[in-house]
Amino acid sequence: MKKTTLQPLEKVSTTKVIKGIAGKKLQESEQQPLKQVAISAKLPVETGLTAIKNTPLKKWFRPLFILLTTFLIGGLVLDRVLASISSRPWLGYPLALIALGLVSLVIYKIREIQRTRKRIRYLQHFKNRLMQIHANSSPLMQHKNTAMSTREIKRNFKQFAECLPLKFSANYPAFLSSIEPHHETDEIVKLYELMVLAPVDAAAKRQIIQDSSKLSGIVAISTLPIVDTVATFWFALRLLRKLSALYGYRSLSGWYLMKSAFNSALIAGGSEALIHLSTDDLLSGLSEKLSKRIAQGAAAGVLTARLGFTAQVYLRHLPFTEKQTSILKQIGKELRKQWLDKPQTSL
Amino acid sequence: MTSLITQLLTANTVAKLPFVELINEGRWLGARLSNHENSEFVRFPYEESIHNIHQLQLWPEPTTSESHILLELHYAVRPSITSRIWPTRTLEVELIDYPGEWLADLPMLNQSYFAWSAEIINHLSSFSELEQAQLFLQKLSIIHNKMKLDKNFKMNENDIDFLQATSAYKGWLAAILQRGEPNLLLQPGRFLSPGHLENTPLLNFFPWDLNQFPLKEDDSIISLLKKRYKSYQKKVVSPFITDFFGGCSRQIILLDLVNTVGAGKVEVERLQQLVQEVFKIHEYGTNNWLRRMINPNIEKILVASSKADLLTPDQHRRMQHLLGDLVRGEAGKISTQGCDYKALAISAIRATETRLISEQGKQIQAVCGRVKVDADSSPEWVTVIPGDFPESMSQLAVTTQQCGANLHFLPPENWQLGQQALPHIRMDQVIEFLVGDLMQ
């Protein structure tokens, strides 16, 4: 029997302390895998990609090209502006003000994008670390989870939750209070997913389906390829913006997502042109025209939904651990839910 | 079981069950105990158990016979075509309580009388110094002498020597159980908790030590014992499996790893054998609608280790890994058949608290709970540093002293039914795993 001092905050009056050692302590060789987990988790995420990264020439080419082009265009514009000011001096002040405003706006936007990029990069790094821990969760490697402490996980979740819209971040205190001392790191992650992230996911899904179904209608009705292209591009960007806002980001700057949005827009416009060609040449009947239009609308909707789900995976605070059902199934399920929910919401 | 019922009954008021998705989604409407007016079974004494914990600060009485209780879980269904017609539904859950000793009989199903006798005699030989053991051996000796003296002696089941030997064997088993040794193979289990079979001829037999008292197979006592053993297999053990587990699609295997690890490697290996026997008697896999109605496979199995509150939270994962190691082969097999498997370290009622204490300048985790030294003395707080729990079979020591395993902590202090959540460890995950997907 041995008396020990309790933490000052603990108010329990302990009379006896029994110290017992049960199983044998781990050998150093058995502890080795844990160290490996810790080291591997600290590595930068892009480690595997560095080997195939751009050569120095390629690396400098793009910024140099942009800089030169900007100088060239900027010089031409400036020359024209100065020429017009010299011929009409009263234009000087308003043009200078407009230029200043534009430059400020551009700087503000660039900084916002940079900040978001930084946060999203950190999010991807965090998710990769979680995935690594999950992958290394063999019995002898997981038990202490030194790769990410509970405190670190909580700190990250706090940062993520603070940026969420108010109605979702309100769930964060409930999540915090539900954490018990016996909860392991993976259990805390699961709790965050259940209590904080699940409502955001549901709202994101709703948004994706809503926007893609609206777009399907517009693309099906419109007869001009340009309308289809612009509408698809605009809807895709709008969806990306809304999803970013749902997950607590001001703007989304994923090049891959932008490219997907642009591709969807091109496909929508191209399909419209194809319909024009086929109906004009083959003189098809009304039902055939209708079915083509519906198919075109559905295709545009599915492409936008696909883009939305990809963005969701990108923006989500945690990786999807469970197997996701196919996009078409998800769309079908959500549409059914929406139809069924409508009367309830109208009441 | 008391904890499970309390958690479900107080789920929408005070219980802390964050892992139950139904509650997070706001679809949980409530639970209530169903009336047992027309039931032919004994009702599980839930109210008495709660009274013991709440008012008397005592643990519920150990289960000695079979009892049933029916719970109705009310919930709102997720939006679907049918949810427009039936927005709320009720899931009826029947909980059956039976003494854990009955499970010890399962290996007997695949054993002959001689194999069983040899094994049980060998197993109980470490308790041969007990007075009851001497009495049993004495009775065997009397019967043996009788058989030797008269080759044509016909022993029948109402013979006084036969009955006395049976009684002595039962007394020996009871004495071992009373010593509190974490011995798992006290067979037949019904001798310790007979339930409704008390005083029936089905429970009249005993193992014969052929090494010490050699006899021929055609001797009347051996024939009689073999006959009684077969009856026990056919009329007690087999119906136990079909009646209790038939029609079940979810299974939970609850193990006391803390005590077993404390008893040493041999006991853990014996527990492993027992668990393997349990896995053998069921069919695992997915169910289609027809199979689910007629004879369902077990589609979800939870292997849980109780008394996790005797360990510090940082040891829970080690306990779960040891559990996983214990059932590794079986878990692999059933997973390939489509059965969902999970291992958890749980505590139905958490009787301890985790504290950080300073030991030689270092902060270490310890568990702290109330213990009564004598029946009349007032409870005192005891802090235990349990040490490292082995996380695999290879780490098990031949004899391990698991600190805190022998301490009987009292139930949580000042707990008020309906006003405070009953403290637990991972009971919410148990509920979610076993019935969560049935309430969509």
Mutation target to probe the A interface, by most A beta carbons within 10 A, among B317, B322, B342 is B317
Whether A337 and B83 lie within 8 Å, measured CB to CB: no
Nearest CA-CA partner of A192 in A241, A110, A130, A141:
A130
**DSSP SS3 for B367:** strand
Q: How confident is the model at residue B74 (pLDDT cuts 50, 70, 90)?
A: very high
Question: In DSSP terms, which residues pair with B381 in a beta bridge?
Answer: B370
If phi > 0 it is left, if psi is from -120 to 50 it is alpha, else beta; for residue B30 that is left
> DSSP strand E in B37-130: where?
67-76, 88-97
Residue of chain A with shortest Cα separation from B382 = A16
Whether B390 and A26 lie within 8 Å, measured CB to CB: no
The reported pLDDT for the residue numbered A34 is 34
Q: How confident is the model at residue B173 (pLDDT cuts 50, 70, 90)?
A: confident
Cβ neighbour number for residue A192 with a 10 Å cutoff: 25
Q: Over the Cα atoms of chain A, what is R_g? A: 28
* B355: closest CA of chain A, how far (Å): 8
The reported pLDDT for the residue numbered B182 is 58
The H or E element containing residue A340 is helix A327-346
The reported pLDDT for the residue numbered A234 is 87
State the pTM of this model: 0.73
Mutation target to probe the A interface, by most A beta carbons within 10 A, among B84, B305, B380, B383 is B383
Tokens in use for A124? 């991807």
Is B157 in contact with B224 (CB distance < 8 Å)? yes
Query: Which residues on A lie below 8 Å from B425 (Cβ)?
Result: 180, 182
Chain segment B418-440, per-residue pLDDT in tens:
778 888 899 999 999 988 888 87
- pLDDT tops 70 at residue A326: no
d(CA B293, CA B247): 8
The reported pLDDT for the residue numbered A277 is 64
DSSP state of B33: E
Tokens in use for B45? 């004494």
d(CA B37, CA B432): 30
The average pLDDT across B62-83 equals: 84
**DSSP SS3 for A18:** strand
The average pLDDT across B333-344 equals: 86
d(CA B264, CA B269): 9
d(CA A240, CA B175): 73
Paired sense of beta strands B300-305 and B250-255, if any: parallel
Q: Any residues with CB less than 8 A from the CB of A147 and at least 6 apart, and which?
A: A37, A38, A40, A41, A42, A129, A132, A133, A136
DSSP state of A51: G
Cβ neighbour number for residue B132 with a 10 Å cutoff: 19
Share of chain B above pLDDT 90, in %: 2
Mutation target to probe the A interface, by most A beta carbons within 10 A, among B312, B357, B426, B433 is B357
The reported pLDDT for the residue numbered A140 is 41
The average pLDDT across A39-45 equals: 37
Length of chain A in residues, anyone? 347
- pLDDT tops 60 at residue A339: no
The reported pLDDT for the residue numbered A42 is 38
Query: Which residues on B lie below 8 Å from A23 (Cβ)?
Result: 261, 387-391, 395-397, 400
Is A160 in contact with A317 (CB distance < 8 Å)? yes
Is B148 in contact with B214 (CB distance < 8 Å)? no
- pLDDT tops 70 at residue A98: yes
d(CA B43, CA B51): 16
Average pLDDT, chain A: 71
DSSP state of B388: P
Query: Which residues on A lie below 8 Å from B359 (Cβ)?
Result: 4, 19
The size of the A-B interface in CB pairs under 8 A is 142
The average pLDDT across B17-35 equals: 88
Say which of A13, A180, A337 has its CB closest to residue B381: A13
* B262: closest CA of chain A, how far (Å): 8
Say which of B21, B397, B425 has its CB closest to residue A24: B397
The average pLDDT across B5-19 equals: 88
- pLDDT tops 60 at residue A143: no
d(CA B113, CA B100): 23
Q: How far is CA B8 from CA A216, B305, B308, B427, B430, in A?
A: 46, 20, 21, 10, 12
d(CA B30, CA B73): 6
The reported pLDDT for the residue numbered A101 is 92
d(CA B307, CA B273): 21
The larger pLDDT score, comparing residue A122 to residue A35, is at A122
Share of chain A above pLDDT 90, in %: 1
- pLDDT tops 70 at residue A327: no
Q: What are the residues of chain A with a beta carbon less than 8 Å away from any beta carbon of chain B?
A: 4-7, 10, 12-26, 139-140, 142-144, 175, 178, 180-184, 187, 190-191, 194-195, 198, 336-337, 340-341
Is A229 in contact with A265 (CB distance < 8 Å)? yes
Chain segment B236-287, per-residue pLDDT in tens:
888 888 877 777 888 888 888 888 887 778 888 888 888 887 888 778 888 8
Query: Which residues on A lie below 8 Å from B261 (Cβ)?
Result: 22-23
Residue of chain B with shortest Cα separation from A10 = B355
Residue of chain A with shortest Cα separation from B16 = A178
Q: How confident is the model at residue A341 (pLDDT cuts 50, 70, 90)?
A: low
The average pLDDT across B18-42 equals: 83
Say which of A6, A23, A183 has its CB closest to residue B390: A23
Token pair 């009775």 is at which residue?
A: B139
Q: How confident is the model at residue B417 (pLDDT cuts 50, 70, 90)?
A: confident
* B97: closest CA of chain A, how far (Å): 28
The reported pLDDT for the residue numbered B75 is 92
d(CA B3, CA B309): 14
Say which of A6, A20, A340 has its CB closest to residue B357: A6
Whether A337 and B19 lie within 8 Å, measured CB to CB: no
Whether A182 and B426 lie within 8 Å, measured CB to CB: yes
The reported pLDDT for the residue numbered A344 is 41
DSSP state of B438: G
* Range with the largest mean pLDDT of A216-220, A320-324, B404-408: A216-220
